[in-house]
């Protein structure tokens, strides 16, 4: 059986993270305050490295993994499932996710769920603390064969100069105060482009951001 270098790397990284966490749990009481601080840095670094490697694997596999045959996808069911999966985080953020009736499209339901999940997680992370999070999901038909989906929030927004850069891997606009790998939007773009569409953003800083992406409509 062939085992890729990426799989080996992910396995070793996971073991390293587990080992460092075990040391932190068993040896912390015997360390000085300064040593505990250093150990915390090591644990956090190992966890970030593991998350990054997993994200990179997901991103690279989108371009090489065998794709499922395109099928009829009910976006209402896809969005409802993603919102249910994120319910804890949405509730913690004091958020509200609403949607209009969404169309049937042609695509891969698992990959399209990843797109919605990445966009909703971004909305949660980059919300404005002084405002309850509100996300609205909708759709319009551009022509009989294409629909444009929108995911709009009332969060921090993004300066126009970064609208293209955010879809590149590792182009994060914030430091470590907001966790993330910087690859979620790159994954969204790769998925949408593999579906024959495009994705873009319209945003005003401190007002909110709306991500839009096009998909092929399922023939009625």
pLDDT > 90? residue 83: yes
Nearest-angstrom CA–CA distance, 158 and 177: 17
Domain spanning 71-216 has what CATH number? 3.30.565.10
Sequence ranges of the domains in the chain: 5-64, 71-216
Q: Higher confidence at residue 78 or residue 44?
A: 78
3-state secondary structure the chain: CCCCHHHHHHHHHHHHHHHHHHHHHHHHHHCCHHHHHHHHHHHHHHHHHHHHHHHHHHHHHHHHCCCCCCEEEEHHHHHHHHHHHCHHHHHHCCCEEEECCCCEEEECHHHHHHHHHHHHHHHHHCCCCCCCCEEEEEEEEEECCEEEEEEEECCCCCCHHHCCHHHCCCCCCCCCCCCCCCCHHHHHHHHHHHCCCCEEEEEECCCEEEEEEEEEECCC
The whole-number pLDDT of residue 2 equals: 39
pLDDT band, residue 1 (cuts 50/70/90): very low
Residue from 218, 190, 213 nearest 107 by CA: 218
Q: What percent of the chain has pLDDT over 70?
A: 68
State the CB neighbour count (10 A cutoff) for residue 49. Answer: 13
The whole-number pLDDT of residue 166 equals: 87
Residues near 39 by beta carbon (within 8 Å), at least 6 away in sequence: 20, 23, 24, 27, 28, 31
62 with 191: CB under 8 angstroms? yes
Give the pLDDT mean for 130-148.
91
| Pair of tokens at residue 137 | 């999901």
161-219 pLDDT tens trace: 888 888 886 655 555 554 545 688 988 999 999 999 999 999 999 899 999 999 999 98
Q: Higher confidence at residue 174 or residue 40?
A: 40
The whole-number pLDDT of residue 65 equals: 47
pLDDT > 50? residue 56: yes
137 with 100: CB under 8 angstroms? yes
């Amino acid at each position: 059986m062939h085992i890729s270098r990426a799989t080996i790397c992910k396995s070793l990284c996971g073991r390293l993270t587990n080992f460092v966490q075990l040391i932190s749990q068993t040896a912390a009481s015997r360390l000085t305050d300064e040593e505990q601080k250093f150990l915390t840095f090591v644990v956090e670094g190992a966890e970030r490295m593991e998350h990054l490697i997993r994200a990179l694997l997901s991103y690279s596999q989108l371009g090489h993994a065998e794709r499922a045959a395109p099928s009829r996808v009910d976006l209402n069911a896809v969005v409802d499932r993603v919102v249910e999966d994120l319910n804890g985080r949405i509730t913690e953020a004091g958020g509200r996710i609403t949607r209009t009736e969404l169309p049937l499209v042609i695509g891969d339901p698992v990959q399209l769920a990843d797109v919605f999940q990445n966009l909703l997680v971004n909305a949660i992370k980059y919300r404005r603390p002084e405002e309850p999070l509100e996300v609205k999901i909708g759709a319009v038909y551009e022509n009989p064969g294409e629909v444009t989906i929108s995911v709009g929030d009332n969060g921090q927004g993004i300066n126009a100069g970064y609208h293209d850069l955010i879809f590149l891997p590792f182009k994060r606009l914030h430091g470590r105060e907001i966790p993330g790998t910087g690859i979620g939007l790159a994954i969204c773009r790769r998925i949408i482009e593999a579906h024959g569409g495009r994705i873009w953003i319209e945003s005003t800083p401190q007002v909110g951001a709306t991500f839009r992406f096009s998909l092929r409509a399922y023939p009625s």
